[in-house]
A = this chain, B = another copy of it.
Amino acid sequence: MSDQAVINKRLTGLDEILDKSAQLMAHLGYHGTSMRGLAQVTGRSLSGLYHYFSNKEELLFLINQRGFTSLLAMSGDLLQRDLTPQERLSGLIHNHVTYFIDHLSEMRIMTSGTMEMNEQRSQTLWKLKQEYTRLAQNIVGDYMDSQSGTNHSAQSINRKTYLLYGMMNWIFGWYSAKNHGTAKDIAKDIFHTFTKGCCGTE
């Protein structure tokens, strides 16, 4: 693939379909999006779509799988690298927020709850989500323990991790690039609020 194609995000084949489908589905919801609508926005015929996936449910699965895999690829090595707990937490938040803002539609679908699905598919996604959650819980737990010297309970760490998830994943409810700055700005704000509170000092 040429560099030009990469730069312009002129994706082809399945990747292009997943991207454009995610945009429409983020707007209309999974059930509200018809195969005919997907055919239109992808510039293909209705039946032509079925060359790339076997049915609508698999399309939803592929969007989710691609997204969670990418998220994990960004942050999966944070625990291995030689970083302080604070740098790890900051890195996790930065990676997540950056990916979120660069893939708003996709993330909207990924965070819109569990959809009824083929057993094997939902298990695959469940494992990906769990792997990512465990990573976050480890990073949050290490940070909290390193800050206070004592060990926090698993339940406490999990709850705090969910609160962090909330701050990050609620972005789609309000974010607009024009009014709220770059991903880096948001990530800084979330890191600061999560570690020091809404008006904590540096």
Binding site for B on A (CB under 8 A): 28-32, 108, 111-113, 140, 143-144, 147-148, 152, 155, 159-160, 162-174, 179-180, 186, 189-190, 193-200
Contacts and interface: CB of A to CB of B under 8 A. Distances in A.
A126 to B, nearest CB: 14
A169 B113 CA distance: 13
Contacts of A170: 162-163, 165-166, 169-170
A196 B189 contact: no
B193 A196 contact: no
Contacts of A197: 193-197, 200
B169 A167 contact: no
A113 B32 CA distance: 14
Contact of A194 (B28, B32, B193): B193
Enumerate the 4 nearest inter-chain pairs by beta-carbon distance, A residue then B residue, closest first: A166-B170, A31-B32, A31-B31, A166-B166
A147 to B, nearest CB: 5
Contacts of A174: 162, 165
**Interface hub of A113, A165, A168, A193 (most chain B Cβ within 10 A):** A193
B167 A163 contact: yes
A35 to B, nearest CB: 14
A198 B31 contact: no
A193 B31 contact: no
Nearest to A169: B170
Given A28-B31, A29-B30, A195-B198, A113 B163 contact: no
Given A31-B28, A169-B170, A173-B111, A198 B162 contact: no
Given A148-B199, A167-B167, 20 more contacts: A29-B29, A29-B31, A30-B31, A31-B32, A112-B112, A113-B172, A144-B199, A152-B199, A162-B170, A163-B167, A163-B193, A165-B173, A165-B174, A166-B170, A166-B173, A193-B197, A195-B197, A196-B197, A196-B200, A197-B197
